[in-house]
């Protein structure tokens, strides 16, 4: 009987440790580091300069600022992003970076787990969300 209690306590301790470790390794938004599970907007092309790293949709970049070191630190994200890394780790979908607020207007699509220099919305970006496909971005615009 005592041995089964010891095994049970040990198993519970291991489970608690795993849960705690999982929470501690979650990404931290706006720390200037593009971590897994985040979408990261860069001030410069080729993922250069300051970064805006987030793990949620943004209906309007008004008030958002680039953080971290490099050119563009402290500058507004709205109408100033040149490249995006969609680093969410999801196997489907990607980032829709829109010209207008509330996910409207012309857009750039950045597939999951890739990065690219913005074309349509370079230095003209106002909102961002995640969609299952580029066709979903188009349908929403």
Residue 11 inside a domain? The answer is no
Residue 87 inside a domain? The answer is yes
Query: Quick one: three-class SS letters along 4-34?
Result: HHHHHHHHHHHHHHHHHHHHHCCCCCCCCCC
Please give the tally of structural domains in the chain. Answer: 1
Alpha helices (H) along 67-133: none
Residue 21 inside a domain? The answer is no
Residue 9 inside a domain? The answer is no
Q: Tell me the pLDDT of the chain averaged across its residues.
A: 86
Residue 5: pLDDT above 70? no
CA gap 99, 69 in Å, rounded: 26
Residue 10 inside a domain? The answer is no
- Give me the pLDDT at residue 12, please: 42
For position 46, which CATH number holds?
Answer: 2.60.20.10
Parent domain of 44: 27-140
pTM of the model: 0.80
Residue 5 inside a domain? The answer is no
Identify the three-state secondary structure at position 16: helix
Backbone angles phi, psi at 57, to 5 degrees: -70, 155
Residue 14: pLDDT above 60? no
């Amino acid at each position: 009987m005592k041995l089964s209690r010891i095994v049970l306590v040990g198993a519970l301790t291991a489970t608690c440790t795993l849960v705690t470790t999982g929470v501690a390794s979650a990404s931290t938004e706006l720390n200037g580091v593009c971590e897994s599970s985040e979408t990261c907007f860069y001030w410069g092309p080729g993922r250069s300069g300051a970064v805006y790293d987030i793990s949620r949709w943004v209906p309007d970049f008004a008030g958002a600022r680039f953080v971290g070191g490099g050119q563009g630190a402290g500058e507004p994200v709205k109408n100033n992003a040149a490249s995006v890394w969609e680093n969410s780790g999801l196997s489907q979908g990607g980032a829709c970076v829109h010209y207008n607020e509330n996910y409207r207007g012309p857009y750039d699509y950045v597939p999951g787990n890739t990065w690219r220099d913005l074309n349509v919305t370079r230095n003209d970006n106002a909102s961002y969300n995640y969609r299952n496909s580029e066709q979903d971005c188009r349908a929403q615009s």
